[in-house]
Amino acid sequence: MKETGSEPAGAMQDLENWINDVSVDKRPVFTAFNATFDWMFVTYYFHRFLGRNPFRISRLDIKAYYMGKFGTTWAGTAKNNMDKKFLSGRKHTHNALDDAIEQAKIFRKLLEYDSKHAPPA
């Protein structure tokens, strides 16, 4: 259904099933680059179409994580201000799947970064 998409209820059920499959015996945490923005849509759709949100209230903001890890300002967390080694190298398309992959790559790099390195300027 690439051209037409999926019905929201089915799409949200599929997403919840995937979340449950990959987070067996662990609490899932919604993680996004500017989680406060993306959270609005995700939680609305889960509650509107399923009556629940598998993330409950667990979310983590990649920008805030970067800010805390490197002691930068909020402005310093914009992608054009971040140390380039953490960027995904992917073109930012505003396509939901592309955005999710891009954000996952950024967060993985941040998690794997050796804290013994000097923080980015």
pLDDT digits (tens, 9 = 90+) for 69-78: 999 999 999 9
> How confident is residue 2, by pLDDT bands cut at 50, 70 and 90?
low
Model confidence pLDDT, tens digit, residues 79-115: 889 988 898 887 878 888 888 899 999 999 999 887 6
Residue 94 catalytic? yes
> Does pLDDT of 4 surpass 80?
no
Active-site residue identified among 47, 92, 94, 117: 94
Between CA 28 and CA 57 the distance in angstroms is: 10
This prediction's pTM = 0.82
Residues 6+ apart with CB under 8 A from 60: 29, 30, 31, 35
Between CA 49 and CA 22 the distance in angstroms is: 21
62, 111 Cβ separation under 8 angstroms: no
70, 120 Cβ separation under 8 angstroms: yes
Q: Which SS3 state, helix, strand or coil, does residue 16 take?
A: helix
Between CA 102 and CA 96 the distance in angstroms is: 10
- Is pLDDT larger for residue 117 or for residue 88? 88
